[in-house]
Structure 1
């Protein structure tokens, strides 16, 4: 074999380092070429913060029910009292629209909710079910989560959330 066709680990590493050098030198220039990259990064961070708020709200709602740390005021949540749990529908992408000023945003996504209906009537059937220890019935339904957000000094907060 000739000396040029012989390869070993050392030659392979040298060639790899030589091939990667131009790419490393171009990386900072490519990053600086895009002037709006900081704005895109900020928008991406805002999108993730809002998605995290919705996920955190759903977890807390399904847990102990105290969602006060996610909302701006106590009247911001408009959920039917029959809803006892919410499961986000991950098969559909949520829609998030920011206002032109970037200080507010609107969110829409789908969710499966569990509804709990209590038997409070005085009919024979309702009396029998309560007597047997079944004072309520549960059902599942698909609902749309509609939420509005505002940017505060501490980050994003929910100003309105409803299940439609």
Structure 2
């Protein structure tokens, strides 16, 4: 099932794609586990570049959209294998009767499973030009005006305001 049903803020992705893309064939770049919340944050490259991308992205020769999905009130986290980046999928299904969701992320070398609140957030939507090696180093152009002012590329993993909020 698509994550779109559970997104509290689907607008950034809908404005690019007309809908929220299915999270199949995505590149999972990072997993951040934060005890506050607790929150699981996945940083992923979406499976395709939008046909209606902003002109600034087209002019810059960017070809990949990246974003974070933040899953709050996470419980029962099971993680096996992790050699990023992993090409795989993220599936979400309703779980129980208490507005919970079961999330399963997997691919070659990754198995992640947990339950969380049914209020999922998308954050830090950006575009970049992927390198031959598959790296996301280099220039990132962010959709959010705040992100665009603060970052010209991905911040280091010590930047808690980027990876934990």
Q: Which of structures 1 and 2 has the bigger CA Rg? A: 1
Greater helix share, structure number:
1
Normalised TM-score (structure 1): 0.34
Greater strand share, structure number:
2
Normalised TM-score (structure 2): 0.34
